[in-house]
Amino acid sequence: MTSAVTQARLWYWQRISAMVLALCVLIHLAIMIYAVRGGLSAAEILGRTRGSLSFGAFYSVFVLACALHVPIGLATVADEWMGWRGPKVAVAAGFFGIAIVFMGLRAVYGVVAA
């Protein structure tokens, strides 16, 4: 068993990140519905996102909330389905989180600053 303190902290971080994600998903869906009104093209999207600090900030928060939320859930799945416990599952989940941060922020950079 990992420590009670660690599990309690993982629980509230997953709760907090879930609240952030719920809000982000709603805003994301609203933006999508708004954005595709007159058809969808790469030029139109990039025209809206390039140089937009608010767009970059919003999706950076989205990515960071995912990077926090997903590995905690995956660690539980790996524990229950494959019996991974202790440092092994912590390292695997950590790498997954880092991968989400890297790929997610790279995508945000790509549509905002590149």
Query: Which residues are at the interface with other proteins (CB under 8 A)?
Result: 1-5, 7-12, 15, 76, 79-80, 85
Q: From the CB of 92, what's the least distance to other proteins, in Å?
A: 15
C-beta closer to other proteins: residue 1 or 53: 1
Residue closer to other proteins (CB basis): 63 or 72: 72
C-alpha distance from residue 94 to each of 23, 38, 39, 74, 107 (Å): 24, 41, 39, 10, 20
Q: Which is nearer to other proteins, 10 or 108 (CB)?
A: 10
Q: Do residues 10 and 72 make contact, with C-beta atoms less than 8 angstroms apart?
A: yes
Min dist. Cβ of residue 84 to other proteins (A) = 12
Closest to other proteins by CB, 5 vs 43, is: 5
107: left (phi over 0), alpha (psi -120 to 50) or beta: alpha
| CA atoms of 17 and 62, how far apart (whole Å) | 9
- Taking the complex as a whole, the smallest distance from the CB of residue 114 to other proteins amounts, in Å, to 40
